[in-house]
Amino acid sequence: MVGRDILLNGTPFQVVGVAREGFRGAAVGVSPDVFVPIVMFRTFNPTMDWNTRGMWWLTVMGRLKPGVARAQAQAEFGILWQQKEGN
């Protein structure tokens, strides 16, 4: 499947990866079939106002670098979040 093109809403996307069996994402009770990079969202919803707090559906996931503790990552993210909130 990796490297093949699929059509989503009439737009071609190249498959760049496949999640391991059993992966359901970060939201409990939601099981999407496809994950698309956020930069492609306008392809699906060109009228969405990106400067709104109404992005209830947006979930951020990440992977810790080897040797980085969860507490360290949370602390660094907290700083970024506070900077964003200050804008």
Which residues span the domain enclosing 21?
A: 5-49+58-86
Bridge partners, 49 (sequence order): none
Residue 87 has pLDDT above 60, yes or no: no
CA atoms of 41 and 87, how far apart (whole Å) = 23
Over the stretch 27-58, which tens digit does the pLDDT of each residue have?
Answer: 788 788 888 888 887 887 778 777 666 677 77
Query: So what's the pLDDT on residue 75?
Result: 93
CA atoms of 81 and 46, how far apart (whole Å) = 26
How many domains does one find in the chain? 1
Report pTM. 0.53
Q: Cβ distance 69 to 43 under 8 Å? A: no
